[in-house]
Each structure stands twice: as C-alpha cells, then as structure tokens.
C-alpha cells in the first residue's frame, strides 16, 4: 500500500515489524467459524461481540474484550487501534483527531482505544516500541500502521487509502457509503465561539479562543490557519494608512515596512508585500532582521504552502538570509 506519510521507509518498516509481531490468525479463525454458525437470538446491547454497522465510533478496548471488539469487528469494519497512555502528550494531540474523523465516517471505520498501561499485553502483541502507535486492522489482521502524532491532512490521506483498498473486502465500508456516506460533523462550539468573536470585530477574544483549541490540539490545522488569519486581520485593521508612503520615504523605518506589507497583502498585492519585506531583510541585521523575517513567515501562513508566490518568496528569503 502506498504510504502517504513523509517518512515512507520508517512507516514501511513499522508495518513490516507489526506484521511479523502480530499473529491474530487463531482469533480470526474462531471468529470466522462463529460466523458460519446459525445466528443466535438478539442480545441486549453490550452483551457479546459488536455487529456490523455498530454506531459507536470510539471503543475502549481491554485485553478481555480485544477479540470481540477488534478481531471480530474487523471482519466487517476497518478498526483503527490507538495505543495510548494518559501520560503521553502526543497521544492527547492525536486521539481527538482520530475520534472526530471516525465519527464523521458514518460507520465505515471505528477507533479502538487501548490504554497500554492497563493492557500491556496488547501493546506487546503489536510489538509497539513507542506511543502513540496506530494500527489498522482488517479481516482480523494488521494491514498498516504508523507511530507519532501526524498532522490531520496526513491522517486523512492514510484513512482514505485504507478505505479505498478495503472497500470490496469489508461490508461495513460499503454499508456506510450506501447509507449516505459520512455524517455531517457536529458544529464545534469552540470554533463557533471564535468565529462569532471574529465577526463582531473582537480579535483579541477570537485569538484567545483559537489559542485555547491549540493548547489542547496543537496539530489542529484548521485552528492554526484561523489563528493566523485573525492575527493578520487585527494587524491590518490597525495599520497606519500612511504606512506605505512612510516606508517608501524611509526604508529604515521597520514599523512602517511591516505595516505597509500588511496593507499590500490585505489589498491582494501579495508579491509586493513579500518583496517589500525580503528587501528589508537584505538591508538589516541582528534583531531587526529577525523581526522582519518572523513577520514575513507569519504572512506565508495565510496561504497554501504550494502557492507559487509563497514558494518564490521562500526561495528569495533564503537567498537574502544566506
């Protein structure tokens, strides 16, 4: 399977190691044998193995429930095992992202959370060397894995590639898509608070709201991008309207140069704003140069990294610095 992560070799090695360390064949055989038996009468919720299409997107798994909640469930749905611990900082970044994405999938896949401190034998079964370690289980066997808190776009690519590869093998994926596909994501009140503050012009409150999200989820790209926009808008609205005239008249006036660049960007004269600051970097040094560089890098965050204007400006900045 093509790996969408930055370190493909590392991920491939991890997947290979897991494939060698994990032997779920006996459990899988028992699960498949049970499927061939006549279906038992319906049992109360929570009694016995989960059925395909179970609505819960996140499951807490123990050593006692591993066979039913992971192995047997993976015959119908993709199961993404999240090996975590309470003391693990990166786990607290990654787990909320996985849980939210699983809830969006409409039952195509689920997250099986395993506290490695309480269930060390499961971590040993997977040969996990560090946490967080994420293992995809399908048809009773591990099919791919990664370790560390990846950015959300990378995780989405990983999940999408798995669903595409397994769609014809796991009925839960097809059933979820036939039922209408991903469910609409519930509105996040944290973002609502920030957006409402922004709309009423309270940039300080909007910034604080996005920063609170990032305190809990440092890898949340949506919050990062929104925070950059809020900071820029606050600066641009408070910038001296005569800044460009002052900057052109006195190239050594750093505050005027920074304000002028913000005004350029706000009026969509992006190349001019970038060029103004790169030229300023070339004629400054020490703390002044670092101040201009940081301001320029913050402006880059307002755009797609693949934007041609950003890519050119980054090259020009590197040339100016070195």
What tens digit of pLDDT does each residue of 4-59 get?
333 343 344 444 434 433 444 444 444 444 444 443 333 333 333 343 333 479 99
Q: For 297-316, how does the pLDDT look when each residue is reduced to its tens digit (9 = 90+)? A: 999 988 888 889 999 999 99
Whether residue 39 lies in the annotated active site = no
CA separation (Å) from 293 to 37, 296, 297, 319?
68, 5, 6, 12
Residue 185's pLDDT is what? 52
In 3D space, the residue among 77, 37, 40, 38 whose CA is nearest the CA of residue 57 turns out to be: 77
Angle of CA points 50, 55, 61, to nearest 5° = 50
Where in the chain are the domains? Answer: 8-178, 189-321
Asked if 78 and 89 count as a contact pair (C-beta separation under 8 A), the reply is no
Burial 113-141 (b: 16+ CB within 10 A, else e): bbbbeebeebbebbbbeebbbbbbbbbbb
Chain centroid offset of residue 258 CA: 32
Catalytic one among 79, 81, 91, 254? Answer: 91
Q: For 116-149, how does the pLDDT look when each residue is reduced to its tens digit (9 = 90+)? A: 999 999 988 888 888 899 999 999 899 999 988 8
Whether residue 91 lies in the annotated active site = yes
Q: For 239-266, how does the pLDDT look when each residue is reduced to its tens digit (9 = 90+)? A: 888 999 999 999 999 999 999 999 999 8
Catalytic one among 24, 88, 258, 261? Answer: 88
What architecture does CATH give domain 8-178?
Answer: 3-Layer(aba) Sandwich (3.40)
Element holding 136 (H helix, E strand): strand 133-138
């Amino acid at each position: 399977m093509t790996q969408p992560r930055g370190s493909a070799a590392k991920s491939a090695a991890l997947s290979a190691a897991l494939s060698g360390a994990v032997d779920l064949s006996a459990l899988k055989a028992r699960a498949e044998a049970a499927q061939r038996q006549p279906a038992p009468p319906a049992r109360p919720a929570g009694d016995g193995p989960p059925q395909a299409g179970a609505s819960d997107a996140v499951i807490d798994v123990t050593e006692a429930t591993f066979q039913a909640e992971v192995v047997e469930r993976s015959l119908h749905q993709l199961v993404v095992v999240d090996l975590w611990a309470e003391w693990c900082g990166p786990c607290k970044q990654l787990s909320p992202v996985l849980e939210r994405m699983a809830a969006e999938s409409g039952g195509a896949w689920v997250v099986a959370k395993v506290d490695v401190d309480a269930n060390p034998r499961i971590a040993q079964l997977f040969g996990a060397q560090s946490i967080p370690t994420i293992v995809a289980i399908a048809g009773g066997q591990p099919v791919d894995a990664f370790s560390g808190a990846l950015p959300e776009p990378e995780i989405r690519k990983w999940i999408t590639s798995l669903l595409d590869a397994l769609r014809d093998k796991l009925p839960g994926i097809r059933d979820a898509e036939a039922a209408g596909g991903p469910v609409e994501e519930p509105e996040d009140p944290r973002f609502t608070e920030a957006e409402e503050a922004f709309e009423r012009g309270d940039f300080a409150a909007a910034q604080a709201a996005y920063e609170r999200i990032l305190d809990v989820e440092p890898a949340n790209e949506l919050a990062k991008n929104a925070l950059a926009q809020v900071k820029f808008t606050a600066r641009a609205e408070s910038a001296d309207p005569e800044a460009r005239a002052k900057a052109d008249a006195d190239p050594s006036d750093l505050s005027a140069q920074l304000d002028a660049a913000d005004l350029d960007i706000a009026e969509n004269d992006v190349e001019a704003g970038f060029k103004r600051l790169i030229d300023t970097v070339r004629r400054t040094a020490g703390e002044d140069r670092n101040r201009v560089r940081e301001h320029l890098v913050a402006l880059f965050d307002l755009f797609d990294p693949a934007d041609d204007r950003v890519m050119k400006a980054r090259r020009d900045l590197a040339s100016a610095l070195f």
